[in-house]
Amino acid sequence: MSAKALFSKFTSLTDKRDPKKSTHILAEVMFISVCAILCGADDWNGIRLFAEHKEGWLRKHLTLPGGIPVAVTFNRIFATLDPEEFRKIFIQWIRDVLSGLELSDSKIVALDGKTVKGSAWNKGKDAIHMLNAWCTEAGLSLGQYKVDEKSNEITAIPELLKLLELSGSLVTIDAMGCQKKIATAILKKEADYLLAVKGNQKKLYGEVTRLFDQYWQDNLEDAPDHYFAEQEGKEHGRMEHRRCWVINDVTEDSNAASWRAKTIAAIQLDSSKKGKGKTLIRYFICSCQLSAAEVLQATRKHWLIENQLHWVLDVAFDEDRCRTREGFAAENLAVARQVTLNLLKLDTTVKAGIKNKRKTCGWNEDYMMQVLKLVDL
């Protein structure tokens, strides 16, 4: 499924401008913006400069009745564009993309939030916070939802879940998302959950910690099997050792059972750097039966959303320094970045990081066409 299919959906976007005063076609402005971001533009002036330098190429695919839009026009259009419509188009497009990929039946979908820090630079407003969904197996963004300024991720998560196709997936969320309403919403989507448990759920946390304290007291020796697993590795200059224990026989009268949990897990992380070490124990509940090795794998994969999405948006797209704020512009621009990130992730013809792939698109028109898959237009 190419960008061509996505761009065809742009024509269905609602244009809120006065048609008598509009000289630029909305779908064409969106096309130009995505292409510009793909080629390294990070702000409205960058998008305009791309369009000016690529006007000849753009005219092969677009009509451009008003010529090349100025920077404030790009800003104004993104500020007035309905973010819900744009988000739904993105989610529909990537759903079609995933249907053409060979993924396992139990893919992991990680949910986590990211603040676009630069969006707080003026007008005394807080920076926007985007809740993102990431398919760890495909390495693709599945969708996003802006967290309301007067709310938090707890209210945004169910709204994003409604939009996603999750059947057969394992949805992983940190402790903030450990809410019965969220767990129920995931199960209703015919998916399973793996939720981190902390003190914000006092009864559940107390029960889980007591169960493992008793388990460790009764099982002094650990041997690798279904109920115990361990990993060693090196991360960011730290030596790390992870140990995981699971309990699958959740009793019907327990608090965990009221969450419809079938597995509870504990992971101990021992890390050391420059001679200094620390130990951390984290607890989880899961709605399906998992072995200790499977829990370790799932919790490790959850953090790919930080390394492959959030970090890349900051380093390769300079998202944290983007000062766009007017109207819905910041939210819509965040979605546009994830459109281009997915396009670059889907292309495997160039072995390079996302930042250098963007540069290659700007330097090499043939490669840009390859990424966009517009060669047949």
Tens of pLDDT, residues 74-94: 999 999 999 999 999 999 988
- AA letter at 358: R
C-alpha pair distances (Å), 182 with each of 158, 194, 195, 252:
6, 11, 10, 21
The pLDDT score that the predictor gives to residue 236 is: 64
Burial zone of 375 (CB within 10 Å; 0-12 exposed, 13-18 middle, 19+ buried):
exposed
What global pTM score does this model have?
A: 0.91
Please choose, from the candidates 111, 135, 126, the residue with its C-alpha nearest in 3D space to the C-alpha of residue 186: 111
pLDDT score recorded for residue 19: 87
Distance CA 58, CA 86 (A): 22
Report the candidate in 320, 302, 299 with the shortest Cα–Cα distance to residue 311: 320
Q: Which residues contact 148 (CB under 8 A, 6 or more apart)?
A: 155, 156
Indicate if the pLDDT at residue 190 is higher than 80: yes
Can you list the positions of beta strands (E) in the chain? 108-116, 128-135, 140-147, 170-173, 192-197, 228-235, 238-247, 263-273, 276-286
Q: How far apart are alpha carbons 78 and 33 in whole angstroms?
A: 10
Whether 16 has a pLDDT exceeding 70, the answer reads yes
Compute CA 325 distance to the chain's CA centroid, rounded to the nearest angstrom.
21
Where do the structural domains in the chain lie, given as residue ranges? 177-291
**Residue 42 has which token pair?**
């990070």
**pLDDT-derived band of residue 126, with 50, 70 and 90 as boundaries?**
confident
For strands 170-173 and 238-247, give the pairing. unpaired
| Residue position matching structure tokens 């997936």 | 169
Report residue 112 as tokens. Answer: 């986590």
Q: What is the DSSP letter of 12?
A: T
Q: How confident is the model at residue 377 (pLDDT cuts 50, 70, 90)?
A: very low
237-259 pLDDT tens trace: 678 899 999 999 899 889 999 99
Encoded amino acid at 227, one letter: Y
| Cα–Cα distance for residue pair 196/212, rounded to 1 Å | 15
**pLDDT number for residue 121:** 58
**Distance in angstroms (rounded) separating the CA atoms of residues 354 and 319:** 14
pLDDT recorded at residue 196: 97
143-159, pLDDT tens digit by residue? 999 988 767 889 999 99
Interacting residues of 82 by C-beta distance below 8 A, sequence separation 6+: 13, 14, 16, 328
Q: What angle do CA 95, 259, 145 make, to 5 degrees?
A: 35
Contact 188/169 with Cβ under 8 angstroms? Answer: no
pLDDT reported for residue 64: 95
pLDDT at position 223 over 80: no
What pLDDT is recorded for position 325?
Answer: 77
Cβ atoms of residues 142 and 109 within 8 Å = yes
Give the C-alpha separation, 122 to 360, whole Å: 34
Structure tokens, 368: 């840009």
3-10 vs 365-372: helix axis angle to the nearest 10?
80
Q: CA 73, CA 269: separation in Å to the nearest integer?
A: 51
- Model confidence at 375: pLDDT above 80: no
In percent, the amount of the chain with pLDDT more than 70 equals 93
Widest CA span in the chain: 78
3-state DSSP assignment of residue 372: helix
Residue 123 scores a pLDDT above 70: no
